[in-house]
Amino acid sequence: MTLTELENTVDIWIIALQKYDVSVLQTQPDSDNWSLGQVYLHILNDTNFYMEQAGICLSHKENQSEKKTEFAALLFSNNGFPDEKIEVDLLANRTIPQPTNKADLVEQMEQLKASLTSLWEKVSESSDYGKTKHPGLGYFNAREWLEFAEMHMRHHLRQKHRIEVAIET
């Protein structure tokens, strides 16, 4: 993955925001699925966590010999998630709030892009760093956390499309 690919993926999300108003962002296809706004908040929350982990990796040399899970290795090998819907706990669906306004989302996404770009430059300059543990996928180094962030955002583009189709009908 390159910085350009990372920035382009974030740009897809930022550009898409322009066509939604807050009522569309808050519309859920059904009670068991997120609204578009909740997907945006999920991406923001998770990507900020991934960036935090990458920063920690740059600050130490611990866990260098630890590995990612076989599933994570497959994700990285394929440069993406499988093309399937991943079921999550329904409680998790209800804990992400609805966005209150579009301007905040735009600002947060633009800040996310700037932060990712800055962190990418630090990661690119560093050659020796540690790893931290992903809650379910084993250990990632700083670069892998950023690669995972980009794959995660691309994975949710399919969800974004499903929601758009559902709320248009």
Q: Can you give the CATH number for the domain in which 23 is found?
A: 1.20.120.450
pLDDT at 87: 66
- Cβ pair 50, 156 in contact under 8 A: no
pLDDT of residue 84: 78
Region of residue 135 (phi > 0: left; psi between -120 and 50: alpha; otherwise: beta): alpha
Q: What is the C-alpha radius of gyration for the chain, rounded to an integer number of angstroms?
A: 16
Integer Cα distance of 133 and 81 in angstroms: 19
pTM above 0.95, yes or no: no
For the residues of 35-104, what is the DSSP string, one character each? Answer: -HHHHHHHHHHHHHHHHHHHHHHHT--TTTT--B-HHHHHHHHHTS--SSPPP--HHHHHHSPPPS-HHH
| pLDDT (tens place) for every residue of the chain, 169 residues total | 899 999 999 999 999 999 999 999 999 999 888 999 999 999 999 999 999 999 999 999 999 999 999 999 999 999 999 887 776 555 555 689 999 999 999 999 999 999 999 999 999 998 779 999 999 999 999 999 999 999 999 999 999 999 999 998 6
Q: How far apart are the first and last CA of the chain?
A: 36
Q: Which of 164, 165, 163 has the alpha carbon at shortest distance from 33?
A: 163
What is the C-alpha separation between 52 and 48, in angstroms, rounded?
6
Count up the domains in the chain and report the number: 1
Could you tell me the residue range of the domain that residue 152 belongs to?
A: 3-168
Token code pair at residue 38: 């909740």
pLDDT score of 57: 97
